[in-house]
Amino acid sequence: MVRVRFAPSPTGYLHIGSARTFIFNWLFARRQKGTMILRIDDTDIERNTEESLNSIYDGLKWLELGWDEFYRQSDRLELHRAMAWKIFGKDMAYRDFTPAQTEAVKQDGVPWLFNPGMREMSREESGRRAAAGEPFVLRFRVPRDIVTDVKFHDQVYGEQSKSAADIEDFALLRSNGMPTYHMASCADDADLRITHIVRGQDHLSNTYKHILIFAALEAGLPAFAHLPLLIAPDGSKLSKRKHGPVVSVTTYRDAGFVPHGYVNFLCLLGWSPKDNREQMSRQELVDAFSFEGVNRPNAVVNFTEADPIDPKALWLNAQHLRTMPIEDLAPRVRATLQAAGITPPDYGEPWFRSTVDAVRSRLSTLNEFTTRGRAYFAGDYEITAEAKAKLDVDNARELLRGLAERLAATPEFTEASVEALLRAYAAEAGVKAGLLINGARAALTGQTVGPGVFHVFTAVGRERTIERLRRV
RNA sequence: GGCGCUAUCGUCUAAGGGUUAGGACGAAGCCCUCUCAAGGCUUAAAUACGGGUUCGAAUCCCGUUAGCGCUACCA
């Protein structure tokens, strides 16, 4: 039974790289009919905030993927400590009383491996100083007498190996008694019987330490799959300070992405189904996902200062917007309109759906229903300069007002009837139908672009059409 | 500095010894058309560099360069 976990630390918003890690874990879990675990790695009490936890939680919920089990490391500290002392009990860890280094005292060419005098300290002295209340860090005693290589097979990066002589004596417990990330993570992974650790490539070199911990714990070794990182166009790591809103999933939510559109985009960063498919449903992604399809190089999120949205993300979202089932899209559009303070006319659900359907191929985000698609749902819409120009052609305004009266004179109001009426009226007035067609679109929607104009008439509806044409 | 990872169009990627190096986004052009999208067609655009191995290298090996990650109580 496959068990995977996504383990964010609540020190900020949900980063898009983290979101992708979550998605890949989820995909793998679903593909293998396994269990997806959300675990909050909150052992750094200095930096954790409840606000951050909520924002991560919100971000994950927005993805609409879900999880099966939930844990918080802060609820499990006793387990972590017990496991750390178990390692100490086997003499595979020792107390280090060296005060924390405030400044990096790196000596060039001489890698730090452990502090002098601590590894070799007798159990008696170590116990005495601890009993006297002297603060200490519990460190893992990396084997150094025999030169051994720590090895593992990564499902993405292949065979990995590092000499134990190059691994420093890392901390298990901080001087404040809190477990470090390495300790807590491995203790939980062992206890929760995680079978596959799927995480960012920034943990690739930490894996050697984790393998030593798993061995000391006599726990079975999980499989590892490291994921390439998401980076900025200049090759640097994505950071909020440097790159702003592009790094947070809330940006895409607030920009009007449909969750699956963004999930689909993230999947294509560092992974490929290898058959040229790009727009894929959730089920197609689950069916196609494997670590073999994950690439090794880091993937660039393509954005600029002027536009924080990757053009491909926008395109993919547009694809989903115009192909997703209308019954799935319609409520999302309603919610977006409502959030923008727009109450659409009460013409019934069939009207709403067909109107959404008519405009969606021209839009890329949900938000655009409140801007470029506004005139169909709201009375207050702007008239663009181009639209104004269409209305100012010859005697267009006068003719459109005349058209309003013709429409008012007959109860029939279908695409066909309006078209017949308009064309007859144009012929009568001796003008090209295009004059009225373009003018009507401008008057009814405030824009020169949009669906076929006769559909626009029925989408706007008889009453609103007559009213809008009269006041042109 | 040490250790590790990586390198195909601007970006995401396919091709894992033999291809005119394929697709997508973005860009440009054409078709369609009441406008704009959508859709269809077309064009420009890549194997970082240098050595090997081989009849043959984007693909395997070595080196260089560049980028990234980890590196003393952050995750």
Residue A236 pLDDT > 90: no
Classify domain A1-70+228-324 at the CATH topology level. Answer: Rossmann fold (3.40.50)
Question: Is residue A150 within a helix (H) or strand (E), and if so which, with residue range?
Answer: strand A149-154
Token code pair at residue A221: 């070794």
Percent of chain A with pLDDT over 90: 85
pLDDT of A208:
96
Question: Is residue A282 within a helix (H) or strand (E), and if so which, with residue range?
Answer: helix A282-288
Is A240 tagged catalytic? yes
CB atoms under 10 Å from CB of A267, counted, come to 23
- pLDDT tens by residue, A173-199: 999 999 999 999 999 999 999 999 999
Percent of chain A with pLDDT over 70: 98
Q: What is the nearest nucleotide to A136, using C1' and CA? A: B73
Which CATH architecture group holds A78-173? Answer: Alpha-Beta Complex (3.90)
For the residues A435-463, what does the mean pLDDT come to?
Answer: 94
For the residues A446-471, what does the mean pLDDT come to?
Answer: 94
Query: What span, in angstroms and rounded, lies between the C-alpha atoms of A294 and A196?
Result: 15
pLDDT of A102:
57
pLDDT of A106:
55
Query: What span, in angstroms and rounded, lies between the C-alpha atoms of A223 and A90?
Result: 25
Q: Concatenated DSSP letters for A175-242? A: TTSPBPHHHHHHHHHHHTT--EEEEEGGGTTTHHHHHHHHHHTTPPPPEEEEEPPEE-TTSPBP-HHH
Residues 6+ apart with CB under 8 A from A251: A245, A308, A309
Q: What is the nearest nucleotide to A182, using C1' and CA? A: B75
DSSP A299: E
| Catalytic choice (A90, A151, A240, A242) | A240
DSSP A272: -
Residues carrying CATH 1.10.10.350, chain A: 336-470
Q: What angle do CA A220, A221, A226 make, to 5 degrees?
A: 155
Classify domain A336-470 at the CATH topology level. Answer: Arc Repressor Mutant, subunit A (1.10.10)
Residues 6+ apart with CB under 8 A from A88: A94, A95, A138
Instruction: From the CA of A361 to the C1' of B38: give the distance in Å.
Output: 6
ipTM above 0.85, yes or no: yes
Residues carrying CATH 3.40.50.620, chain A: 1-70+228-324
Which residues sit opposite A72 in a β-bridge? Answer: A40
Instruction: From the CA of A267 to the C1' of B46: give the distance in Å.
Output: 23
Residue with tokens 């099966």: A68
Token code pair at residue A155: 């499902």
For chain A, count helices (H), then strands (E): 20, 12
Query: What span, in angstroms and rounded, lies between the C-alpha atoms of A259 and A78?
Result: 38
Token code pair at residue A65: 């993927």
Q: Nearest 10 degrees: CA dihedral of A47, A50, A53, A57?
A: -170
Residues 6+ apart with CB under 8 A from A60: A14, A19, A22, A38, A67
For the residues A192-215, what does the mean pLDDT come to?
Answer: 96
Nucleotides of B under 7 A from a protein CB: 1-8, 10-16, 22-26, 34-39, 67-75
Query: What span, in angstroms and rounded, lies between the C-alpha atoms of A23 and A19?
Result: 6
Strands (E), A283-427: 299-300
Q: What is the nearest nucleotide to A297, using C1' and CA? A: B6
Residue A173: phi, psi to the nearest 5? -130, 135
Residue with tokens 């007035």: A429
Residue A381 pLDDT > 90: yes
8 Å CB contact between A35 and A68: yes
Question: Is residue A160 within a helix (H) or strand (E), and if so which, with residue range?
Answer: strand A158-163
- pLDDT tier at A104, thresholds 50, 70, 90: low
Residues carrying CATH 3.90.800.10, chain A: 78-173
- pLDDT tens by residue, A7-64: 999 988 999 999 999 999 999 999 999 999 999 999 888 888 899 999 999 999 999 9
